[in-house]
Structure 1
Amino acid sequence: MLDNKKINILKTIEKYNSISKASERLYTAQPNLSRALKQIEDELGFKVFERSKSPLYLTKEGKILFEYIEKFEELEIEMKEKINKSNNLKNCYIRIGALTFMSQYIIPNIVPKLMDLYPNLELSLTKYDSTSFEDALIKNEIDLFITNRNIDNSKLNSIHSLNDKIYLMIPKAIYCKGKDKLEDYSNETFFLLKPQKNLRKSVEDIFKVTNFYPQKVKLTSSIMDSVSFVRANKGVTFIYGSSIRMINSTSYCNFIEINGNYATINVIYKDLSFKPIAENLSNIIKNYISKLYITLR
């Protein structure tokens, strides 16, 4: 029977598709993690990961294992939801923070579902930028925060909801069928957010991995400013997949999916007493955004 520690090891390796990267995230030496993985596989009686190639990937048995891990986690969440409902959560008050763009397009759609789980819950919503929310959590100014980047702060806890896709947004007047690489649009103006913004950080990761750097860049203050310029045929920009339906631009633009995981939606909290609500909120976000991706296909 796998305990939470062993499951966390497997999920971290699967997330990063690399034992070396997972060992950094788990703050352990790579040989120690390799031994731990072998012990888990010996206990299970089958290999979870195929390690003959890089990046490593799940074996057929590993895929089945992860399907059941997810099912068990969903059952655990369902159990906690029923317990929370039975407790009736009288006079429960929670302060949720989120990035401005998520506050406009994601939060309004998930808060009602959270209220369904906690009928007596009172909450407040506050916008924060990507540079200030960690201090707000540490100083107890807010209880939960929803972000689309991983954090590395030993004082805070994080629950991963899902990986968000990133797309290159191109006006139909500029888009060329069959051209689906960044370098195909190297002559266009790229509208990018300021460096401290989360989406810009993810875009810089994309540039680094693809070894592509646009020659013409103009900075904007918000995602919607970038979207407005693109809709006016002034150039191209990047957008989160979770936001495509909200910006009402599918009839004006084409979207090219960027391969790789560059954005991950997480629920962050400090006080462990908020963990059950954070887990439920994370599950709501996962279900909501997953359905958005289905409708985009």
Structure 2
Amino acid sequence: MITKLDLYKVFCQVGKSKSFSRAAKELYMTQPAVSQAIMQLEGELDIRLFNRTPKGVSLTNEGNILFEYINSAINLINVGEEKILEFKDLTVGELKIGVGDTISKYFLLPYLEDFHNRYPNLKFKIINGMTLELCNLIKSGEIDIAICNLPIDDPSLEIRPCKEVRDIFVCGEKYKELSKEKVSLEEIVKYPLIFLEPNSNSRRYVEKFMISKGIKISPEFELGSFDLLLEFARINLGIACVVKEFSKSYLEQGLLYEVNVLEEIPNRSIGVCYLKSVPLSLASTKFVEVLES
């Protein structure tokens, strides 16, 4: 007997495949069985879910709305099934981590290496994205944990700080004098500024702090890469706002200079996030322990 959950699984696969025949192959079903399942679901819901054409099918507006919810729910079900199949000794399993490029490169890599050495049979799936994107991926069940720039204000997430970092301003040789004597934030914004793009959590944190001081920023350059911030400052295109802990090699080699500001930006943290409502897998729990140690 086909259950409502079975119908929804067929519905999701047809929505992804955009074809009854391709969905049938993925589900190891016959095409008539797939068609019958969709007709049954449409009958039970009393609504048309797909537009049928000779080239395939497409979701109706109502079908699109339903697909978003059902796809997330089935992802979470699949995650639950995967978790119970993991052995307690972590000899099998997969750890799905969401992380931004910068945190991945400058913070996460040593922890991945350590964890892999301890549990070599575990697989990693790393998904890159910005903080808001990663939070949504946690909620849809597509990743187990995310390592993000804090603060994050989301009551559905458990947030645990792991490492404290400090945002600073840096410059190249052209503006070297700014590293010698104390400079006010009001003076800094008179120079060409180099910031991350507005959607970055790091950018929003610094911008919020400066607005609290009555200072509005208007960057000359808005970049999507932390490494480009360093390089743009190095070739004297302006004053860049960067994370000090991730810029040590440039500062130690004398490629960049830290601007000597009168009022430092308050420290913030990098942290690990996961759903409060879903227990962490054993692999995720062990990895969080490694991060916090």
Q: What band does the TM-score fall into relative to the shorter chain?
A: 0.5 to 0.7
Distance in structure 1 (CA, Å) of the matches to 2:252 and 2:225: 16
Question: What's the counterpart of residue 268 of structure 1?
Answer: 273
Contact 2:144 2:280 in 1 (8 A): no
**Distance verdict in 2 for CA 1:167–1:131, change over 3 Å:** same
Q: What is the correspondence of 1:96-245 to structure 2 with a 5 Å cutoff?
A: 96-176=97-177, 177-214=180-217, 217-245=220-248
1:246 CA drift (Å):
5.4
1:125 CA drift (Å):
1.2
1:215 CA drift (Å):
5.7
Residue 175 of structure 2: SS of its match in structure 1?
Answer: coil
1:95 CA drift (Å):
0.6
Contact 2:100 2:130 in 1 (8 A): yes
After superposition, what is the alpha-carbon deviation per residue over 1:157-188, rounded to whole angstroms, capped at 9, x for unaligned? 11111321111111132022113432343331
Corresponding residue pairs, total: 199
Distance in structure 2 (CA, Å) of the matches to 1:225 and 1:266: 23
TM-score, normalising length: structure 1: 0.59
Question: What's the counterpart of residue 280 of structure 1?
Answer: 289
Larger-gyration structure (1/2):
2
**Distance verdict in 2 for CA 1:246–1:135, change over 3 Å:** farther
Distance in structure 2 (CA, Å) of the matches to 1:156 and 1:216: 32
Distance in structure 2 (CA, Å) of the matches to 1:216 and 1:130: 21
Contact 1:144 1:278 in 2 (8 A): no
- Identity, in percent, stands at 18
Distance in structure 2 (CA, Å) of the matches to 1:216 and 1:123: 37
**Distance verdict in 2 for CA 1:210–1:171, change over 3 Å:** farther
One-letter amino acid of the structure 2 residue matched with residue 171 of structure 1: G
1:214 CA drift (Å):
4.1
Aligned Cα root-mean-square deviation (Å): 2.6
Distance in structure 2 (CA, Å) of the matches to 1:192 and 1:175: 19
Unpaired runs of at least 5, structure 1: 1-86, 285-297
Unpaired runs of at least 5, structure 2: 1-87
Distance in structure 1 (CA, Å) of the matches to 2:101 and 2:173: 28
1:250 CA drift (Å):
4.2
TM-score, normalising length: structure 2: 0.60
Contact 2:111 2:291 in 1 (8 A): no
One-letter amino acid of the structure 1 residue matched with residue 285 of structure 2: P
Contact 1:267 1:278 in 2 (8 A): no
1:136 CA drift (Å):
0.6
Distance in structure 2 (CA, Å) of the matches to 1:141 and 1:126: 9
Residue 98 of structure 2: SS of its match in structure 1?
Answer: strand
Distance in structure 1 (CA, Å) of the matches to 2:196 and 2:151: 18
